[in-house]
């Protein structure tokens, strides 16, 4: 039987990073096994359900590149969907649940209790076969011993999570349930329900949770908990999926930075760890940098625009050359505007601290000489520029920085940026000389 997995989020208005990883693991497994990835929206809690809340999930998954083979085509629960096992919004499946509840009643496995309907739960321990945790024997808790029969339909007629979850997994032919470990204990109820419907339960794989850096449970407000934050901060989605894939799963060798295609190929359930993992912002940042620098220039350019870089009227060649000097040095695309804006405008202020040092009176004479040398350099490219500058430093018997600092400040106004020689070559002789003159004037 071919693999069918599902991601079943509830539209709460945000996509939790842990939920994103659950979706990723399901998707990875489907793609690895050549199976189907189903998206089902558990929108039974109507209060929080809004088209916007659903969009957050849909957009989040799209951004991550987790395309679903079956599921909603839009954020309209009553709208179109892809796949023949729909509807994929639980709010549209009331009849199916009613039919299944009736089935349990007929079998004598469900009964009414003050208006609600309870499932006749078994009283013995349930063994949960789990691909990651092994066989887990779940005993009843003290409270469950008092009342083992749990509610499957509320007195207002709405079916409860445990029921709809199992019914949908049956109807949708789900073969593997990959979900957070917070559902492990609940699985006893689910297995009992599957049996009540005379259906062999799917394979279960409970994956460890993602915790905060301090080990506490990650909730909505915690730093980094919402996927939207990463989307807005300009993170590269492949970096996020790469980072997330390494939380709980391991390729078992020293691989760290991998393209999605490689992760798909190597991903499998038995390699998943059983221990919870903590979210490490710094490693994600590093991972993002690794993916950012590997981006094709066209993509990088697009991100630069999104980050707010104004290219002015620059030509494409100039833009590509300019961004090329930044790509392997800028860690976050958010930093790009301050890093490269000097390329696209002549109107910038000198950083005070930088200028105070760079434009010190003692530097003026050497810097003026540098201007003349650069005016005469035959080939205005990095290597000749560097050679010329160093030759002059030697001739004047000054440290290289005496020439470099004012040159950088004159060209960019700030102390951090691309390699000085590269940046001057991109700027071109005319622009560099104009900026040198302006700086010289500021030095007197």
Based on the number of CB atoms within 10 Å of its own CB, is 4 exposed (0-12), middle (13-18) or buried (19 or more)?
buried
97 neighbors 72 (Cβ within 8 angstroms): no
Nearest to RNA of 173, 251 (CB atom)? 251
Q: Please, which of residues 5-24 interact with RNA by CB under 7 A?
A: 10
Q: Which stretch binds RNA (CB under 7 A): 26-34, 57-65, 181-189, 231-239?
A: 181-189
Q: Is 203 in the site for RNA (CB under 7 A)?
A: no
**Binding to RNA, residues 155-174 (CB under 7 A):** 155-156, 158, 160-162
Separation of CA 331 from chain center? 16
In the sheet that holds 176-180, the strands lie side by side as 36-39, 4-7, 176-180, 203-207, 126-130, 134-138
Among 271, 346, 379, 434, binds RNA (CB under 7 A): 271
Nearer to RNA, 133 or 439 (CB): 133
Residues of span 293-332 touching RNA by CB under 7 A: 328-332
Question: Is residue 55 within 8 Å of 72, Cβ to Cβ?
Answer: no
Which one among 195, 357, 369, 431 touches RNA, defined by CB under 7 A?
357
Report the distance separating Cα 25 and Cα 52, nearest Å: 25
Q: How many CB atoms lie within 10 A of CB 441?
A: 8
**Of 105, 107, 217, 220, which one is the catalytic site residue?**
220
Q: Which stretch binds RNA (CB under 7 A): 92-100, 149-157, 191-199, 307-315?
A: 149-157
Contact positions with RNA (CB under 7 A) in 88-127 = 113-116
**Given the rule CB under 7 A, which of 31-39, 50-58, 270-278, 300-308 is the region that contacts RNA?**
270-278
Whether residue 220 lies in the annotated active site: yes
- 177 contacts RNA (rule: CB under 7 A): no
Token representation of residue 386: 């560097």
Q: Which of 354, 392, 410, 425 binds RNA (CB under 7 A)?
A: 354
Burial (CB < 10 A; 0-12, 13-18, 19+), residue 282, is: exposed
Q: Which of 405, 426, 432, 439 contacts RNA by CB under 7 A?
A: 405
| Nearest-approach distance from CB 307 to RNA, in angstroms | 12
If one asks whether residue 232 binds RNA (CB under 7 A), the answer comes out as: no
Percentages (nearest 5) of helix, strand, coil residues in the chain:
50, 15, 40
Q: How many residues bind RNA (CB under 7 A)?
A: 89
Q: Considering only 61-69, 183-191, 369-377, 435-443, which stretch makes contact with RNA by CB under 7 A?
A: 183-191
- Residue 207's φ and ψ, nearest 5 degrees, are -95, 150
Dig out the tokens for 426 from the structure.
């991109």
Pairing type for strands 116-119 and 110-113 reads antiparallel
CB of 156 to RNA, least distance (A): 6
Which residues carry out catalysis? 220
């Amino acid at each position: 039987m071919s693999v069918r997995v599902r991601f079943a989020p509830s539209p709460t208005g945000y996509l939790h990073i842990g939920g994103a990883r659950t979706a990723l693991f399901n998707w990875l497994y489907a793609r690895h096994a050549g199976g189907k990835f189903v998206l089902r929206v558990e929108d039974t809690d109507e209060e929080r359900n809004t088209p916007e809340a659903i969009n957050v999930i849909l957009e989040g998954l799209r951004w991550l590149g987790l395309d679903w083979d079956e599921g909603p085509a839009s954020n309209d629960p009553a709208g179109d969907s892809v796949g023949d096992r729909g509807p994929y919004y639980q709010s549209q499946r009331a009849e199916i649940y009613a039919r299944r509840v009736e089935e349990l009643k007929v079998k004598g496995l469900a009964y009414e209790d003050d208006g609600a309907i309870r499932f006749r739960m078994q009283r013995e321990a349930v063994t949960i076969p789990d691909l990651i945790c092994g066989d887990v024997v779940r005993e009843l808790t003290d409270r469950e011993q008092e009342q083992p029969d749990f509610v499957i339909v509320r007195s207002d007629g709405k079916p409860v999570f445990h029921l709809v979850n199992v019914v949908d997994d049956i109807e949708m032919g789900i073969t593997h349930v990959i979900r957070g470990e917070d559902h492990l204990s609940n699985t006893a109820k689910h297995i009992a329900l599957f049996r009540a419907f005379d259906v062999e339960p799917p394979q279960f794989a409970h994956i460890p949770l993602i915790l905060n850096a301090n080990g506490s449970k990650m909730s909505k407000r915690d730093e980094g908990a919402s996927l939207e934050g990463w989307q807005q901060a300009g993170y590269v989605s492949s970096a996020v999926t790469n980072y997330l894939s390494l939380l709980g799963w391991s390729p078992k060798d020293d691989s760290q930075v991998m393209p999605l295609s490689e992760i798909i190929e190597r991903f499998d359930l038995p390699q998943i760890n059983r221990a919870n993992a903590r979210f490490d912002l710094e490693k994600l940042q590093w991972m993002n940098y690794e993916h950012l620098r590997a981006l094709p220039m066209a993509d990088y350019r697009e991100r630069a625009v999104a980050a707010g870089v104004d290219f002015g009227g620059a030509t494409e060649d100039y833009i590509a050359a300019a961004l090329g000097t930044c790509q392997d040095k800028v860690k976050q695309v958010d930093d790009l505007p301050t890093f490269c804006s000097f390329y696209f405008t002549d109107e910038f202020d000198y950083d005070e601290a930088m200028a105070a040092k760079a434009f010190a009176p003692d530097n003026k004479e050497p810097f003026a000489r540098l201007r003349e040398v650069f005016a005469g350099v035959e080939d205005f490219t990095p290597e000749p520029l560097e050679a010329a500058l160093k030759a002059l430093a030697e001739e004047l018997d000054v440290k290289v920085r005496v020439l470099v600092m004012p040159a950088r400040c004159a060209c960019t106004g700030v102390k951090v940026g691309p390699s000085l020689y590269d940046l001057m070559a991109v700027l071109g002789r005319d622009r560099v000389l104009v900026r040198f003159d302006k700086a010289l004037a500021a030095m007197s």
